[in-house]
């Protein structure tokens, strides 16, 4: 036994202390006793073994202090997750030392060490930094790689690429940290050919570990969080010739609870390497920190084909709250003196004006309380402006500042005292529907943030006044940019294509990536606004619905705009995210053609855009749909965009692609599925009399319609109620 050079007894359920004669094992180079229940103190002789280079004692119940001396050869030490106390010994300053002392009770004094990484005090027992109300409400990490922004708009922060066998890292803002343990050379791998993802850049690097890998969210506001983990099997494939037998199997824990056992990335991907996998979990934060633990439990491939291809591997992590945050999400100031002055000032100020403050708060609460007839109540209220401030910003409702008018009320341009240009939407006092839309818009848009969604700055709820305050987007709406007679921008084909793609990305975020799935319900050209760089922003969430993942659809009264309504929604009130997909398909055709979805001034065959597009598609003449004002365009992109639009407007929701796949098809990452035949509503629903129809862009706004009770498509027999109604599908669906 004393001739052993390597001894691994990790995760073996050992309950004892380290033998006092361990100093006699002079041949030991590698000792791993981690993940047991070993107690007592660390024998001083263990740290003096002359041949020992790697020592793993983490995740035990060791107590006492770190030995005062150690051999110069011992350069990799893990004693994390124990009960060690006391101050740090002088040998921690030894060059090239990798020391993991996370989750103990050590007295950390960074001033006595020039080599300790920043933030170790935040990773001691109970993670003491920023406890209390917390200061952050999310974090996103590009594991083992540089910072990057995903197509959804999430910015994944840079990870430390050079973590060794026993190491840790904390960001400069103490927002998140990492602890890594395991013996092999290299802790990241690279691969760029990952499939089935719109974010291939997210998988060009991954963090791997031979044993235990933990990520921590620090200083978080307490509450439930959605944790999203991104994986792709790359390590096994990296060593050519062993892909068929290599396996990477590990367990996944959140907050110490095992949520996945024997997780095999490649198996999860159907036996395919380099395929993106996403796993979502819910975790409760109760003490301001969130722990995500990936643990190799001894299963899978060890040492074949090379040391270090068998442990956990992860490409990216994000955590977002399942509640409306109340903290700033900004790092605290580092100026202690300033903080002290502020605290003293606040205390004195409160003492002087406490009575007046109570009266003021009482008055504000009474003035700003939402009336009980506002259907839902605002649980997600953003920053609240006073009416006086907004009235000044828009120059006392000056007609010169009026931007437009809709069913909700008037919209004005204004300027706040801090210089921000804003758009103020004022609820009409006479609008009963506007009150519920006001609440719906705040609830929906306060819960999401994305580069392709308009930004809500705040609201005003004062007396009878209801106002929403948005960022001002100077390039107005897409319908004004596209359609003849009101064309405000000279758009080229590349810009048109980019606008379509960006709108698709915004809808993908609402449907698949936001904390709550949201159905917009009124996707149309007039609700797409543009900033100074012509980046499109989806606006007007007054009709939006939050969508429970457990439901197949929402049954609701029809609301939206004629010309964009999906058949199942218009006829049966069945609302899913595929309702937005249908509207997007119509919008994409409008972008290609530069015209609205119905135009009575055109010839009969071109009257309804969707029908005309199908006619051109069936005759392989899609390019004739392109706006005649575009002098140049890419024919392949035109066909791709029209193909996606025709898929999105299929009669059955199941035949329409999810928005993420629509994005992939528009990007050219996947082939556009072939559409073989017209939807039934175009071939079977024919009307000779169109005099009763209108081509206006009027929103239905929850209007009750009398729908067909029974329809026999083949014989075109209709059993109706007392009156015929405006076409329940869409202006483009009837003739």
Q: Mean pLDDT lowest for which of 65-74, 229-238, 301-310, 483-492?
A: 301-310
CATH dotted code for 478-733: 1.10.510.10
Q: Which is higher by pLDDT, 538 or 310?
A: 538
pLDDT at 156 > cutoff 50: yes
- pLDDT per residue as tens digits for the range 436-464: 666 766 766 666 778 898 888 888 887 77
Phi, psi of 648 (to 5 degrees): -70, -20
Quick check: do 1-116 and 131-332 share a fold? no
Report the pLDDT value the prediction gives residue 683, as an integer from 0 to 100: 63
Binding residues: 425
Report the pLDDT value the prediction gives residue 487, as an integer from 0 to 100: 60
Interatomic CA distance for residues 217 and 222, integer angstroms: 11
pLDDT at 486 > cutoff 90: no
Residues 163-201, buried b or exposed e (16+ Cβ, 10 A)?
Answer: bbbbbbbbbebbbbbbbbbbbbeebbbebeebebbbbbb
pLDDT at 669 > cutoff 90: no
β-pair partners for 212: 181, 295
Name the pTM for this structure: 0.49
Average pLDDT of the chain is 78
Interatomic CA distance for residues 397 and 700, integer angstroms: 27
pLDDT at 576 > cutoff 90: no
Residue 224 near residue 321 (C-beta atoms within 8 A): yes
What pLDDT band is residue 233 in, cutting at 50, 70 and 90?
confident
Report the pLDDT value the prediction gives residue 239, as an integer from 0 to 100: 45
Interatomic CA distance for residues 63 and 330, integer angstroms: 37
Mean pLDDT calculated for residue range 158-177: 85
Pick one of 3.40.50.300, 3.80.10.10, 3.90.1150.10, 3.40.50.970 as the CATH number of 1-116: 3.80.10.10
Q: Which of 522, 540, 580, 599 is catalytic?
A: 522
- 387-471: CATH topology is Phosphorylase Kinase; domain 1 (3.30.200)
Interatomic CA distance for residues 172 and 154, integer angstroms: 20
What pLDDT band is residue 112 in, cutting at 50, 70 and 90?
low
Report the pLDDT value the prediction gives residue 309, as an integer from 0 to 100: 60
pLDDT at 499 > cutoff 80: yes
Interatomic CA distance for residues 284 and 178, integer angstroms: 19
pLDDT at 194 > cutoff 70: no
Q: Mean pLDDT lowest for which of 48-57, 280-289, 390-399?
A: 390-399
Pick one of 2.60.120.430, 2.40.30.10, 3.50.50.60, 1.10.3720.10 as the CATH number of 131-332: 2.60.120.430
Domain residues of the chain, as ranges? 1-116, 131-332, 387-471, 478-733
What pLDDT band is residue 136 in, cutting at 50, 70 and 90?
very high
- pLDDT per residue as tens digits for the range 637-663: 999 999 999 999 998 888 999 999 999
Among residues 371, 399, 367, 373, the alpha carbon closest in space to that of 386 is found at 367
Catalytic residue status for 160: no
Contacts for 202 with CB less than 8 Å, ≥ 6 apart: 142, 148, 150, 156, 230, 276, 315, 316
Residue 423 near residue 473 (C-beta atoms within 8 A): yes
pLDDT at 625 > cutoff 60: yes
- pLDDT per residue as tens digits for the range 319-365: 999 998 999 888 765 444 444 444 545 454 555 555 555 555 554 54
Report the pLDDT value the prediction gives residue 311, as an integer from 0 to 100: 78
Q: Please, what is the end-to-end C-alpha distance for the chain in angstroms?
A: 90
pLDDT at 593 > cutoff 50: yes
Binding residues for ATP: 425
Q: Mean pLDDT lowest for which of 70-74, 250-254, 366-370, 621-625?
A: 366-370
Q: In what order do the strands lie in the sheet with 205-208?
A: 188-190, 205-208, 313-314
Q: Mean pLDDT lowest for which of 225-234, 371-380, 429-438, 559-568?
A: 371-380
């Amino acid at each position: 036994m004393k001739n052993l050079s390597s001894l691994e007894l990790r995760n073996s359920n050992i309950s004892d202390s380290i033998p006092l004669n361990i100093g006699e094992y002079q041949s030991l180079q590698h000792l791993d006793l981690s993940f047991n229940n070993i107690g007592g103190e660390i024998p001083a002789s263990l740290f003096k073994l002359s041949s020992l280079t790697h020592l793993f004692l983490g995740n035990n119940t060791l107590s006492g202090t770190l030995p005062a001396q150690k051999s110069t050869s011992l350069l990799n030490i893990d004693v994390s997750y124990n009960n060690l106390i006391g101050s740090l010994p002088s040998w921690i300053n030894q060059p090239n030392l990798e020391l993991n002392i996370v989750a103990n009770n050590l007295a950390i004094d960074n001033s006595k060490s020039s080599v300790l990484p920043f933030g170790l005090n935040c990773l001691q027992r109970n993670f003491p930094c920023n406890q209390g109300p917390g200061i952050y409400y999310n974090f996103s990490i590009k594991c083992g790689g540089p910072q990057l922004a995903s197509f959804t708009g999430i910015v994944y922060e840079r990870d430390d690429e050079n973590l060794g066998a026993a190491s840790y890292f904390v960001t400069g803002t103490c927002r998140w940290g990492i602890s890594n343990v395991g013996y092999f050379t290299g802790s990241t791998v690279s691969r760029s050919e990952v499939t089935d993802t719109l974010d291939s850049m997210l998988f060009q690097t991954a963090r791997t570990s031979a044993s235990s890998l933990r990520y921590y969210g620090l200083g978080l506001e307490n509450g439930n969080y959605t944790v999203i983990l991104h994986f792709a099997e790359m390590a096994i494939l990296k060593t050519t010739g062993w892909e068929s037998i290599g396996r990477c199997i590990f367990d996944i824990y959140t907050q110490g609870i095992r949520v996945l056992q024997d997780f095999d990335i490649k198996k999860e991907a159907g036996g395919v390497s380099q395929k993106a996998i996403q796993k979502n979990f819910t975790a409760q934060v109760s003490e301001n920190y969130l722990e995500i633990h990936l643990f190799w439990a001894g299963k899978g491939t060890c040492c074949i084909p090379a040391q270090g291809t068998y442990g956990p591997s992860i490409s990216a992590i994000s955590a977002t709250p399942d509640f409306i945050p109340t903290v700033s999400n900004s790092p605290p100031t580092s100026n202690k003196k300033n903080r002290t002055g502020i605290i003293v000032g606040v205390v004195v100020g409160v003492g002087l004006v406490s009575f007046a403050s109570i009266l003021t708060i009482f008055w504000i609460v009474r003035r700003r309380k939402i009336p009980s007839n506002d259907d839902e109540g605002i649980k997600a209220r953003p920053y609240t402006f006073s009416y006086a401030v907004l009235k000044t910003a828009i120059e006392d409702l000056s007609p010169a500042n009026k931007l437009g008018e809709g069913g909700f009320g008037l919209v004005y341009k204004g300027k706040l005292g801090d210089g921000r240009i804003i758009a103020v939407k004022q609820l009409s006092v006479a609008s009963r529907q506007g009150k519920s839309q006001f609440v719906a818009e705040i609830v929906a848009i306060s819960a999401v943030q994305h580069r392709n969604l308009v930004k809500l700055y705040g609201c005003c709820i004062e007396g009878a006044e209801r106002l929403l305050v948005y960022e001002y987007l100077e390039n107005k709406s897409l319908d004004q940019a596209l359609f003849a007679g009101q064309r405000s921008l000279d758009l080229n084909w590349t810009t048109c294509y980019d606008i379509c793609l960006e709108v698709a990305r915004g809808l993908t975020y609402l449907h698949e990536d936001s904390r709550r799935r949201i159905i917009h319900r009124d996707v149309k050209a007039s609700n797409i606004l543009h900033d100074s760089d012509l980046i499109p922003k989806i606006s007007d969430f007054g009709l939006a619905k939050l969508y429970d993942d457990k439901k197949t659809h929402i049954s609701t009264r029809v609301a939206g705009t004629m010309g964009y309504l999906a058949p199942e929604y218009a006829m049966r009130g069945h609302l899913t995210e595929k309702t937005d997909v249908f509207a997007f398909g119509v919008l994409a055709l409008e972008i290609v053609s530069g015209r609205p979805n119905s135009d009575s001034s055109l010839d009969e065959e071109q009257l309804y855009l969707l029908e005309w597009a199908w006619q051109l598609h069936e005759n392989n003449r899609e390019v004739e749909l392109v706006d005649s004002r575009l002098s140049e365009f890419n024919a392949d992109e035109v066909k791709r965009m029209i193909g996606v639009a025709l898929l999105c407007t299929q009669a059955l929701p199941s035949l329409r692609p999810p928005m993420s796949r629509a994005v992939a098809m528009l990007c050219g990452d996947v082939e556009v599925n072939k559409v073989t035949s017209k939807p039934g509503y175009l071939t079977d629903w024919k009307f000779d009399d169109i005099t009763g129809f209108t081509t206006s862009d009027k929103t239905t706004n929850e209007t009750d319609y009398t729908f067909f009770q029974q329809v026999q498509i083949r014989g075109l027999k209709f059993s109706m109620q007392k009156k015929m109604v405006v076409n329940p599908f869409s202006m483009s669906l009837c003739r």
